[in-house]
Structure 1
């Protein structure tokens, strides 16, 4: 059929040459460009383009659009690339060739943007890969002013068939390279973690490699401030690391969980390919970006944050292969980070166990021996007749007491762990556990809100309030149960309630006075409710900011 239709030797030679060029490369972008160039050459078209629509692209938009014939200045004046609507979308919806003498007369025509060259004649042919429409080759405006002929259509159909095979091979090769790059990126992350690098450095490597893997212009990682908070209590994500030109503005910006696409991905744990990231986290800088990949950092049943990659507005959308690549990379990176955190926690537990052992030895052996030595000296003082010797022994006894006090301080420091302070949630739970360890009392501890947002000073006040109130309840109330409730919003609210004996007149000094003083110090409030036989409730609150 081709031989009958292609009457001239030049057409046959041109087709053979085009097929050789199209199938001679495994680079996908280069293959697409060669298909467009070959289509123009075979038909004498002034303009040619190849649009690729991916199933994961939002709104049926083109994930790639390769064009020839329009100079760069005109392309810049036109602005955004076509979205795949109107006549351009017809061949996708009904994958058969479409040849028009006047595309403006077609009912699906939606016109052209300003600065777009005039185009009248049109030929569109679908390119199938493994039986599915991969893209469409568009040709317009024959150079001689004629319309596209049946011979032109046959030539382009033959080209499209060869292009489908070449594109399939190029995609397989591209996927293989992408898998290799993903493994290399994961190796980079693991290397940082195994070398003892800190978490921020590992997260930065994740953001950098995500940018490279997807060919994005900007990437960032957003995480909750308090990683130990229950998922339902997390209402904000903070950008912790970023890669790209807007990184300085991005880091530290906040994304609301309920009003941002990144927040929804965090809650739903489902990757998303979007044409626009909702809620600009770094002022108007995000207005320059369009296509976005948003994937959760999933590790087991939990999610630790989201990884976002962005392309500048006007660039092609991300495709399904890139979404799958990023999803796999993010999941495996999250597992590596979680494993490293578990190893670090295990190491810290070993250190704490060693500190506890040392503290126990100091208390059980060293302090007891020093105390015995002090008692022995006390007994000796009474038998001394020399005032000078008595004074020297008394001074030695005082010095032993100071040494014992210093050792006790060291023991407390060892039990506390030293180094970086633990998160407040852990400190509060540890405090309640320590205070009730030798008591049959049952405890119910509930900690909610943005606890990690508290300043160190306010966090220390909160811990001190919980310690004082729980200690009083354990020592004086005879309670069977104690409820501890801490919530952080615009204010930090602490409530400790017990079902003990209660008191009719609370003392105006000691622990309760201390709680009131702490409230006054931070501009907060303190209330003590108790009745004989009706239990006790301590209410303490303070503003988080200001």
Structure 2
């Protein structure tokens, strides 16, 4: 049995306070499941997020036995199970006892550690209104089922967590919208002020060349015109980075448009259907920008190949040129190449960036991002 009703009310109050105060999704989920375990007879818990394609990922866990904790929680991370299937099929509406769990059974059969006496679990969907996010699963040693009161408590906690997930999601959307607005404002300011000033300088330099008959003065104006044009190109590239025109028309169109703005000719090859989350598209676009900037500045060629392969779980982007290339030394930081910037962007989305390059043989950037 669980604690008395007064204890349940106290537990729900403590969880509600934590959820209302927390703004980080990971800390919020982990804190909520630990408070649930500490205030009840549930002994272990884990949370799955399940996306629109039915793919699940483990986002929080507490007090898992060694058998389930083994090798990065591999039994929870991979494969299918009854509760996830019911969630995908829209058949899981409330807290339920799971008669048999394939994940737990696999962890026991594999002899990957002590199972802690856990053989069954209960599950409840995490949702806010009609929007569903995933599952909260709980278990306890030697328990094959939980009472109605225990399941009712589980539903109350799940309702609180679902509302908090929705709140944090809306907050993130507002922050991203505010960031886009600020980028647009900066882009407009740069275009209306600095960009126009640089353009005026190029016209002035051109006029100086035509007005003077002194070869040295003409050369000086030509240098000014050349440098100003380079600065103007850099400014236009910066404006593109702040406000990627064309991304609303698709990722490939945006990348192609940016390459054309830099004066690069791009060969495209795509396999799979492009239907990526907006954050993934943004990340791939920013990485492509950095790679294309590097090609224009360092490769000494105007041709670039872009290959993109989309599967059900991740996207592979390859950007290749046949230019000068560079020596790779993992012990050295190469700020002019911008490799670290690409790596940081991919890492923020759980992805990776690898590259290969040889002097005189060109460079190949390989980006892989899950979604």
TM (norm. structure 1) is 0.43
Given the alignment of the two structures, is residue 310 of structure 1 paired with residue 139 of structure 2, yes or no?
Answer: yes
Q: 1:244 aligns with which of 63, 81, 85?
A: 63
**Quick one: distance in 2 between partners of 1:359 and 1:458?**
17
**Quick one: distance in 2 between partners of 1:460 and 1:400?**
27
Report what 1:46 is aligned to.
none
Distance of aligned partners of 1:354 and 1:217 in 2 relative to their CA distance in 1, 3 Å threshold = same
Report what 1:320 is aligned to.
148
Offset of 1:262 from its aligned partner? 4.0
Distance of aligned partners of 1:321 and 1:206 in 2 relative to their CA distance in 1, 3 Å threshold = same
Offset of 1:336 from its aligned partner? 1.2
Q: 2:86 aligns with which of 245, 254, 264?
A: 264
Offset of 1:386 from its aligned partner? 2.9
- Paired residues, what number? 276
CA contact (8 A) 1:307 1:330 kept: yes
Report what 1:181 is aligned to.
11
CA contact (8 A) 1:211 1:219 kept: yes
Report what 1:474 is aligned to.
none
Distance of aligned partners of 1:414 and 1:216 in 2 relative to their CA distance in 1, 3 Å threshold = same
Cα RMSD (Å):
4.4
CA contact (8 A) 2:29 2:161 kept: no
CA contact (8 A) 2:48 2:59 kept: yes
Report what 2:77 is aligned to.
254
Given the alignment of the two structures, is residue 274 of structure 1 paired with residue 95 of structure 2, yes or no?
Answer: no
Q: 2:231 aligns with which of 375, 389, 403?
A: 403
For 1:318, what is the secondary structure of its paired residue? Answer: coil
For 2:243, what is the secondary structure of its paired residue? Answer: helix
Q: 2:42 aligns with which of 193, 200, 216?
A: 216
**Quick one: distance in 1 between partners of 2:208 and 2:136?**
73
Distance of aligned partners of 1:432 and 1:390 in 2 relative to their CA distance in 1, 3 Å threshold = closer
Distance of aligned partners of 1:297 and 1:459 in 2 relative to their CA distance in 1, 3 Å threshold = farther
**Quick one: distance in 2 between partners of 1:269 and 1:371?**
62
Report what 1:202 is aligned to.
28
Q: Which runs of 5+ in 1 are unaligned?
A: 1-63, 65-170, 418-426, 436-445, 465-485, 494-542
Q: How does 1:109-508 map to 2 (within 5 A)?
A: 174-193=4-23, 198-224=24-50, 227=51, 230=52, 233-234=53-54, 236-246=55-65, 248-249=69-70, 251=73, 253-254=76-77, 256-257=79-80, 259-265=81-87, 267=89, 268-270=91-93, 271-280=95-104, 284-285=112-113, 286=115, 288-313=117-142, 315=143, 317-416=145-244, 430-431=250-251, 488-489=311-312
TM (norm. structure 2) is 0.61
Q: Answer with 1 or 2: which has the greater Rg.
A: 1
Q: Which runs of 5+ in 2 are unaligned?
A: 256-272, 292-308, 317-367
